[in-house]
Structure formats: structure tokens, C-alpha cells
Amino acid sequence: MLEPLTDAAGTVLSVLQIGGLDGQSFAFEQISPEVVQLGLAVLLGMFLGLEREWSEKNAGIRTFALLTLLGAILSITGEPLLLVAGALLVITMSVLLAVQSLLSSASEASLSLTTSASMFVAYGVGILVTQGFLIESVTIAVLSSLLLVLKRELHEFAWGLSKEEMQSATEFAILAFVVYPLLPDEAFGPWNAIEPRTVWLLVIAVSGIGLVNYVLVKRYRGRGFIATGFFGGLVNSTAVIAEMAQRAKQQPSLRSLAVGAILISNAAMAFRNALVVVPFMPETALIVGVPLGAITVTGIGLSLFVSDLDQDFEAQLTSPFSLRNALVFGGLFLAVLVVSAGAEATFGANGFLTTSFLAGLISSGTATATAVTLVATDQISSDLAIAGVIAGTLASILVKVVFAATIDWDLVRPVMIWNVVLIAVGVFFGGIVILFL
């Protein structure tokens, strides 16, 4: 009974040996890149069509997979006319889909527009895959699928926006995507300290944190302030105070929450700096981790202590963000930037700790990254780098008192008291580590 199977196996083996596919001479490298690209195009098409299939639309997994495959095939041929013909085919399919939906109901006709647009995206993804844009094609497929899945959430968000919120979102988009690319990318001015893009990034950061804070406070009330402080501190803790102080100035009842948000932003900043240093200098994990970790834990604890998270207040936020406040804060940042650059030019390399402290007045992340870079190039010792990181972190905590005074004088006393406590904790635990090591 086994003879037919044995004969068949022998025949297959002979064919493989004749073709050079006997398992010894065959390798995956022999598969042409085009075959891999076609397979990836089909997989991405299936992924795109998954949500449409789940939503019971007329075009589902198979249709989208075939569209990406069509785009990939026509792109491999390298004939522009064929690509145009493929696009015309997709247009025809979209029109037929719209007509069919229109005959069913008006609501289905409006919904078919999303499916039609998705079909064009699928066709484009297939072309991108064969052109070598693999990461881009995967990113487009994932983002497109996410837009389809979050349909209800996106509609509710759009319908819930007021005219003022729409205006603020447009202004922020102009700041980030129109003005920023137009700014020169070269430093100029005294000591070449004026870097327009660096200063404008802070303006964008202040505006972005304002938008995020507006959304979180509307939804989570007092807890929204604390969340903004923490996540804003991971990005730029200096920018947090601009937003929080402005809100506290508008509504004095929010001062305790603003102080709590500033404290937790300092905690997040110290935590971020530790994460930057430890992977590059693991031997210093204890020396850096203990003082910065102590600042992180103390900052979180103090934030929860001074903040009344259940405070009942009217969240009468006048606008999602204040463009004037962001520009004023950017001007202050520019002034500190010039002063720091002048001090660095005066003290030179021998004044590393001084320049680290001055850099921390602007951004402790910059001071930390500089210290790590200098250690990697053997320009300074690890001990000096650690001192520079801690100096920059403490400076970033201290400078918030100055910025608070420029916006809301009533915040100076509580911000100064609790920030001094954070500095004392960092110095104390840093001294203990140095003493016992």
C-alpha cells in the first residue's frame, strides 16, 4: 500500500533536485524581492479590509487585498499608463459602490464615501510597497485602519468642538506646521545663541500643553491638571509652568492645583533625565538614580499633598491655549538662552558645571544630553557628567520660581517653598550616595 506514496515522493524529490531545490542548494535568498513585496501587499490589503468586512460593507477583506495586489502588480511593470488604468478601475468600482448604496438608502450612500476613499488608499499602499516604501506603507495601513475603527469617537469629538476650540486648533496647526518650517535652521546673534527653531519649539510646546490641559481638565477636572503636569514634564517641564500659571491667574481657586501640576512636572522631568543617563552610563545608575529618583517620588507625593483633586470648581477655561502667553514665554526663554550662551563663552570648557546649571535654566534635557555626549567622547569624566546632570536638573526646578513670578506673583511663595524642598531632597540623597560609595 505504501509503494504509490513512495514512488510519488521519489518523483517529487527528483524534480526538486533537477531544479536545484533539494534542500541543500535552495535558500530563501533565491526568492525575488518582488514576490515578497506582493505577499506584503496582500497582507496589508487584508488588514485594511478587516474593519470594512467587520462593518459588513460591500467591499471587504478580499476586495481590499486584491486592490493592494493590483497596485503592486501594475507598479512592478513600471508602465505609467497601466497605473493610470488601475486608478480608473478603482474609480469605476467606487462609483458602482456609491450607486448601489444610493439605491439602498441615503445614509448608506454617505457611508460608502469612506469605503471608496479606503479603496484608493489600498491601491496606493500596494504601489508604495513595490517602490520600497515598506515602513511608510505599513504606517499608512495602520493609521487608515485606526481611522476606520475610531469612527464613532472621531465623530463625537468633532461634533463636540466649539467655534473657539476649532479656531485654537487651527492656530496651533499654523504654529507647528506652517511657521516652524519657515524659520531659519542656523544660529545667529550674540554668541550665535539665537536659534529660532529652538525658541519656537518652546512656543509650540507651551501651546500644545495648553491644548492637552484644556481637554483633560474639561473631562477629568482636577485630575486633568495633574495628568497634564506629569506628561508635560516628560516633554518640557519649563513649558508646563507657563500653562499652569496662566490658568491660576485667570482662576485663583486653581492655584493649589497649579502648584501640584508644577511639582509633578518636576518629578517627571527628574525621572526622564534618569532614563536618559542610566542606559548610556549604567555604572552610574546608583549615583544618578538615587537623587533623581528621590526627587521623582517626593515630587509626586508633594503634588498629591497640595492638590485637592476632588475640588469642586467651575472649569471656565477661556480658551484652549493662550497664544500671547506662549509668545511671551518664548521671549523669556530667548533671554535666558542668550545669557546662558554668554556665560558659556566666558567660562569655557572649565566651567562645565556652571554651563550645565545655566543650560538647565532653559532645558534640563539639554544639559543631560550634553553630559552624556561628552562622556561618550571621553571629553569629561563620569563623575563630572553626573554632577552636571544633577546641576541641570536642580536649575530647571529653581528657574520655575522666576517664571512663576512673571505670570502670577501669588504663585511665587508656594512654588518656591516646595521646589526648595525638592532641591534639598535631591542634594541630601546625592550626598548620602557619595558618602557611602
SS (H, E, C) the chain: CCHHHHHHHHHHHHHHHHCCCCCCCCCHHHCCHHHHHHHHHHHHHHHHHHHHHHCCCCCCHHHHHHHHHHHHHHHHHCCHHHHHHHHHHHHHHHHHHHHHHHHHCHHHHHHHHHHHHHHHHHHHHHHHHHCCCHHHHHHHHHHHHHHHHCHHHHHHHHHCCCHHHHHHHHHHHHHHHHHHHHCCCCCECHHHCECHHHHHHHHHHHHHHHHHHHHHHHHHCHHHHHHHHHHHHHHHHHHHHHHHHHHHHHCHHHHHHHHHHHHHHHHHHHHHHHHHHHHHCHHHHHHHHHHHHHHHHHHHHHHHHHCCCCCCCCCCCCCCCCHHHHHHHHHHHHHHHHHHHHHHHHHCHHHHHHHHHHHHHHCHHHHHHHHHHHHHCCCCCHHHHHHHHHHHHHHHHHHHHHHHHHHCHHHHHHHHHHHHHHHHHHHHHHHHHHHHC
Q: What is the mean pLDDT of residues 404-411?
A: 78
In a domain, 258, yes or no: yes
Give helix 285-306 / helix 255-280 axis angle, nearest 10°: 170
At residue 111, the pLDDT reads 52
Q: How many residues does the chain have?
A: 437
In a domain, 107, yes or no: yes
202 plus 78 within the same structural domain: no
Which residue range is the domain that position 424 belongs to?
161-436
Total count of domains within the chain:
2
Residue 317, all three cell numbers: 477655561
> What are φ and ψ of residue 226, in 5° steps?
-65, -40
Give the residue, 423 or 344, on which the prediction is more confident.
Answer: 423
103 plus 233 within the same structural domain: no
In a domain, 3, yes or no: no
pLDDT higher than threshold 80 for residue 317? no
> What are φ and ψ of residue 188, in 5° steps?
-155, 180
145 plus 278 within the same structural domain: no
Looking at 156, 180, 207, the residue that finishes a domain is 156
Q: What is the mean pLDDT of the chain?
A: 74
Looking at 156, 175, 205, the residue that finishes a domain is 156
At residue 298, the pLDDT reads 93
Q: What is the mean pLDDT of residues 222-236?
A: 73
Looking at 130, 156, 182, the residue that finishes a domain is 156
The answer to whether the beta carbons of residues 422 and 303 sit under 8 Å apart is: no
Range with lowest mean pLDDT among 292-306, 318-332, 398-412: 318-332
C-alpha span between 229 and 248 (Å, rounded): 14
184 plus 257 within the same structural domain: yes
Report pLDDT digits (tens) over 151-171. 776 766 667 666 776 777 787
Of 111-125, 131-145, 301-315, 338-352, which one has max mean pLDDT? Answer: 131-145
Q: What is the mean pLDDT of residues 24-42?
A: 71
218 plus 347 within the same structural domain: yes
Q: What is the mean pLDDT of residues 100-120?
A: 65
256 plus 281 within the same structural domain: yes
pLDDT higher than threshold 80 for residue 125? yes
CA distances from 73 to 48, 70, 123, 141, 316 (A): 18, 5, 10, 18, 57
Range with lowest mean pLDDT among 11-20, 156-165, 424-433: 11-20
178 plus 316 within the same structural domain: yes
Report pLDDT digits (tens) over 262-313. 888 888 888 888 887 777 777 777 778 888 889 999 999 988 888 876 655 4
Q: Of 134, 164, 157, 107, whose CA–CA distance to 37 is shortest?
A: 134
pLDDT higher than threshold 80 for residue 383? no
63 plus 90 within the same structural domain: yes
196 plus 120 within the same structural domain: no
Give the residue, 260 or 349, on which the prediction is more confident.
Answer: 260
